[in-house]
Structure 1
């Protein structure tokens, strides 16, 4: 052996150590809890449908989801999925805007959107029945995705689906007088899709009878399933009980009854089960200004409530049916200056209450030459449009999904998201300018979120001063900028685009 050669020998391990090492090097038993899926759960169309059907029901939601891939696009645009989507969100369809009976020009001018892009539905979508003669058709009610209108000649009721344009006409019952109140109701018993379900129509008119010196309310119910009117029912009331003159506010449904405000400090009730009429006395404090300053609403438990406007607040009354002699109790008060900005340099006028949307618990208020909507739960507000104190409105809620076809055509044509129909999906380049904004009111409370377009509208009507600051929802209050600078950047972006 050479002296510089080093011989190393591997140490011999005990037999038990070798056996232990062999056991440790063996393939571990699979943990059943950590087994991997061979396929993703979203590969199952049924499971994916259950996930997508729970997306918010706003008009832009499904078009955005359809951009993920072709499979999602085909699924979200299928008639079966859309029926299930509408049925799942039936209890709370999105409030899209309001119809009104004021004549402002073209037939599409009878609708005012109440949401911002990309969820804004274009007014041009809603062409009124009657074409150029649409001003002779009057709205009576909007509910469950349908609108009830009253036509001039021949005298008939029209149920209209603004989304599809479908119409159902029914001649008024024989002997019907001048209809003052009406309601359209889905007859599917809170199950399924209202758009494909039958409906009922309730009409009420009045007769003055000199023999009994009374005012008689008369009502009838029409069923779209049988296409016939029910037996006419009537109830005499004191001669001072009369409907309001001019445009009538829509009714409010609470439980199994429809209620309408009258101009004589009373509320008319129609029981949908017994087909009977009754009279309810309003709170005594509302006797002098019942109609314009009051609006029927729903309480937290779904019962009948009454909102009464004062100069700086809205008083919310609750009808108590727990005793044999039902009465009213004051539930709470809403301070208007906390949710609607005060117009600069102008004393606040007495507000008028214009309407109420049942599913979203939203009340519409006219104040300072503007129509505002206030969600009574969150107290969030926004300006809908300009108007006047007797601007009667009919809130409309529904599911707008017709933009999916246009979106699919665009994606297939250019292979990427691009400009689509107005009100369906905004170009992604606009995202920083379609963000929502906040501001601090004079008492130090944070208000919002509001769109920049809405803040611009308020600024033009004198609600904000020159030093008014705002910040986006993805920013902090410390990052606020002047509203004027934000508007200038937005308008400059529009010109450059």
Structure 2
């Protein structure tokens, strides 16, 4: 090793942490993933601004915090567009108009899913999915795959992208349709890859005759309540409890399988049930835990109604609507 190399190494090791070119990026990477963190850091100096705006640093920052993203707020569907309801206080509060989207044509749009910083909408008048990035404002239109008719088939969808990948995304399309008289109805799914611009081959599973009434029931509720998707990388027909849809929610378990939440208004509790198998939620479920809402929310038994209206998969939070407002409860 040359004397000049030893000298540079000595200066680097003896420099204060905030002056060390190797340590400073590692320190800044561990800032909390709040909207104000990096903008505030960029105001310290030109050097800090250069570091936190570097594409490589931003990619590492996203990957490091992808498992604990902050919940910025909720999207609410209205007649003329999608409104954003902020959930944080200042200085991290995002103005409502920052992430709102107005429809130019007004009709035919439906809010389907929100995940990994992307929002999935449907535009059935044009037979298209719309993938919207609220931060950049970019919109990508994806044609509904061949064989799916939104006017005759109940279609749902989900959007996702790999951790740290801000260029590409996937759209999952799921529907039910009648294949033929002999085989009856089937649940079908396919995946769109933005990297290739193509839909995958269809994957299907038959719908048992005894499950069709339940399937129609769930589809009609989904149409009314616009249920968000839960991704498990498998396709199966699953029985669900005979309870009102706003008292029941299928969610992803910590193990990667399925479990469900049940809202009991008799004692104002939310129960988390874990099935022994993903193929039958009702077959052999066990009670995981019970959350007593009366100790958390300003509600009175017999005077208030509580409904489950959503679930934030990445944050493990359930949204409850009461007569007094909308509340988010972290399941942990």
Structure 1 segment 130-149 matched on structure 2, within 5 A? 131-134=103-106, 136-149=108-121
Contact 2:276 2:284 in 1 (8 A): yes
Pairwise CA RMSD: 2.8
Aligned match of 1:315 in 271, 284, 288? 271
Matches of 1:342 and 1:324, distance apart in 2:
34
Superposed displacement of residue 249, structure 1:
0.6
Once residues 229 and 271 of structure 2 are traced to their aligned partners in structure 1, the CA distance between those partners, rounded to angstroms, is 19
Structure 1 equivalent of residue 304 of structure 2 = 349
Instruction: Report the 3-state secondary structure (helix = DSSP H, G, I; strand = E; otherwise coil) of the residue aligned with 2:237.
Output: strand
Q: In 1, are the aligned partners of 2:319 and 2:328 still within 8 Å (CA)?
A: yes
Deviates more, 1:76-85 or 1:49-58: 76-85
For 1:246, what is the secondary structure of its paired residue? Answer: helix
1:207 corresponds in structure 2 to 177
Residue in 2 aligned with 1:295? 249
The alpha-carbon distance between structure 1 residues 320 and 115, as it changes in their structure 2 partners (threshold 3 A), is same
Tell me by how many angstroms 1:317 deviates.
Answer: 0.2
Query: What secondary structure is seen at the aligned counterpart in 2 of 1:101?
Result: strand
Q: Distance in 2 between matches of 1:114 and 1:206?
A: 35
Q: In the TM superposition, what is the alpha-carbon distance from 1:323 to its structure 2 partner?
A: 11
**Alpha-carbon distance between aligned partners in 1 of 2:106 and 2:19, rounded to the nearest angstrom:** 49
How far apart are 1:214 and its partner, in Å?
4.3
Residue-pair matches, total: 308
Q: Is the 8 A contact 1:145 1:195 kept in 2?
A: no
Which residue of 2 is the match for residue 111 of structure 1? 84
Q: How far apart are residue 365 of structure 1 and its match?
A: 0.8
The residue correspondences of 1:477-496 to structure 2 (distance < 5 A) are: none
Aligned to 2:8: none
Could you tell me how far apart the structure 1 residues matched to 2:67 and 2:296 are? 26
Pair 1:221 & 2:191 matched: yes
CA offsets, 1:415-463, max 9 Å, x none? xxxxxxxxxxxxxxxxxxxxxxxxxxxxxxxxxxxxxxxxxxxxxxxxx
Deviation at residue 46 of structure 1 after TM alignment: 3.0
Question: Aligned partners of 1:84, 1:209: CA distance in 2, in Å?
Answer: 46
What are the equivalent positions in structure 2 for 1:49-60 lying under 5 Å apart? 49-60=25-36
Give 5+ residue unaligned stretches, structure 1. 1-34, 258-270, 272-276, 378-497
Task: For residue 134 of structure 1, report the CA deviation from its aligned partner.
Answer: 5.0
Secondary structure in structure 2 of the residue aligned to 1:281? coil
After superposition, the C-alpha distances for 1:66-109 in whole angstroms (9 at most, x for unaligned) are 33333223322333322221121112221111113233x5x4x5
- 1:250 lines up with 2:194 in the alignment: no
Conserved in 2, the CA contact under 8 Å of 1:177 and 1:206?
no
Q: From 147, 157, 164, give the equivalent of 1:182.
A: 157
CA contact (8 A) 1:348 1:367 kept: no
Match runs of 1:320-399 below 5 Å:
320-321=276-277, 327-342=284-299, 347-377=302-332
CA drift of 1:357 comes to: 1.1
- Structure 2 residue 165 is matched with structure 1 residue 194: yes
Distance 2:67 2:306 in 1: 30
Distance change in 2, residues 1:369/1:201 (3 Å)? same
Q: Which residue of 2 aligns with 1:98?
A: 74
Contact 1:60 1:119 in 2 (8 A): yes
Structure 1 stretch displaced more, 359-368 or 38-47: 38-47
Question: What displacement does 1:133 show?
Answer: 2.6
Measured in 2, the distance between the counterparts of 1:36 and 1:153 equals: 62
Could you tell me how far 1:213 is from its partner in structure 2? 8.7
- Please report how far the alpha carbon of residue 373 of structure 1 lies from its aligned counterpart in structure 2 after TM superposition: 0.5
TM-score (norm 2): 0.83
